[in-house]
Structure 1
């Protein structure tokens, strides 16, 4: 949700997919959105995003895809994503996040309070 409007467009979804090593066509992106777009507004809001991710998690090869996505963030391959690594990847895909926003993302996902995921 690059522009912070609470919706994910096909363009925003494409940016994320490409950052994870995928190269979906415009029609594939639209199909992904249409699968979960409950209100038929052409974009994905957060509940619809959760639905999409839950379906993706059920795919047989999704664990490997998740590992590959994690490796994109875990630049030093230590098994954790630090705030600096998260900031680097988010910046490289065009996200302009403040330190506070990155720290908040880490806090939300940091289960043991060590400052990393």
Structure 2
């Protein structure tokens, strides 16, 4: 089941802590976790990571982030995508692994 544009906008408004009108990666993760509160937290995080990790290589790349946001109707610039990666990427490899993703949640 896909959310409508109005539902997506409502979800964004709820987590847009800085009032920018867009959501950064931590805000997006909060939005995703709010949608699945009934699930076990670890299972929820694992499943969310798998959704982002389209190629199943164990990492979320800039391209995978761009794809996910585009599917939600959010066209982000390369700069915004890179900022999200930098916010999460502890080991500096330019990708988000599961441990980094879990830490954000």
What interval of TM-score do these two structures reach, taking the shorter chain for normalisation?
0.5 to 0.7
1:89 to 50, 63, 68: 68
Is the contact between residue 80 and residue 116 of structure 1 (CA under 8 Å) also seen in structure 2? Answer: yes
What TM-score do you get using the length of structure 2 for normalisation? 0.59
Flag structure 1 segments of 5+ consecutive residues without an equivalent.
1-9, 17-41
1:1-117 matched pairs, under 5 angstroms? 11-12=7-8, 43-46=14-17, 53=30, 61-117=40-96
Cα separation, partners in 2 of 1:116 and 1:63, compared to 1, 3 Å: same
Flag structure 2 segments of 5+ consecutive residues without an equivalent.
1-5, 19-25, 97-105
Aligned residue pair count: 78
Separation in 2, partners of 1:62, 1:13: 24
Separation in 1, partners of 2:39, 2:84: 28
Higher relative contact order (CA 8 A, sep 6+): 2
RMSD: 3.2
Cα separation, partners in 2 of 1:14 and 1:80, compared to 1, 3 Å: farther
Cα separation, partners in 2 of 1:115 and 1:14, compared to 1, 3 Å: same
Computing the radius of gyration from Cα coordinates, the structure with the larger value is 1
What TM-score do you get using the length of structure 1 for normalisation? 0.53
CA shift, 1:93, in A, is 0.7
